[in-house]
Amino acid sequence: MKILTVSASPYLLTNLGRINSSILQFLKLKNLDIQTACWHLNTNFYLPSEIDGKFKYELENSNIICDLYPFNNNPQKAAPELYNIVKEVNPDILLSIGDCSDIGFIYALKSMDPNMFKWVNITTIDALPINENLINIFDYIDHSIFINEEIYQNLFNKIPCESSYLSFGPNPIFGPKRIPNNEFNVITNAKNSQISNLAGILKAFKDFININSETKTSKLYLNTK
In a domain, 171, yes or no: no
Whether 80 and 143 share a structural domain: yes
H-assigned helices in 30-99: 75-89
Q: How many domains does the chain have?
A: 2
For residue 217, pLDDT over 90 is answered with no
Q: Between the CA of residue 29 and those of 2, 18, 61, 96, 119, what are the distances in Å? A: 14, 17, 15, 19, 22
134: number of CA atoms within 13 Å, CB side? Answer: 14
- Please give the residue range of the domain that contains residue 42: 2-165
For residue 54, pLDDT over 50 is answered with yes
Rounded percentage of the chain residues whose pLDDT exceeds 90: 47
219 beta partners: 216
Average pLDDT over residues 63-75: 91
Whether 18 and 119 share a structural domain: yes
In a domain, 176, yes or no: no
pLDDT one-digit tens code per residue, 98-116: 988 888 899 889 999 999 9
Whether 66 and 94 share a structural domain: yes
In a domain, 27, yes or no: yes
In a domain, 34, yes or no: yes
CA distance 115 to 106: 13
Handedness of CA 131, 132, 133, 138 (dihedral sign): positive
Whole-structure pTM value: 0.76
Provide the pLDDT for residue 157: 83
Whether 25 and 120 share a structural domain: yes
For residue 176, pLDDT over 90 is answered with no
Average pLDDT over residues 181-185: 66
- The last residue of one of the domains, among 165, 198, 213, is 165
Average pLDDT over residues 74-92: 92
Least confident of 139-143, 146-150, 174-178: 174-178
Whether 49 and 112 share a structural domain: yes
Provide the pLDDT for residue 173: 56
For residue 76, pLDDT over 60 is answered with yes
Whether 139 and 201 share a structural domain: no
- The last residue of one of the domains, among 165, 195, 216, is 165
For residue 21, pLDDT over 80 is answered with yes
For residue 218, pLDDT over 50 is answered with no
How far from chain centre, in Å, is Cα 71? 15
Whether 157 and 200 share a structural domain: no
Whether 128 and 27 share a structural domain: yes
Provide the pLDDT for residue 101: 82
In a domain, 179, yes or no: no
CA distance 166 to 178: 24
**CATH number of the domain residue 82 falls in:** 3.40.50.11930
Whether 117 and 27 share a structural domain: yes
Average pLDDT over residues 53-75: 92
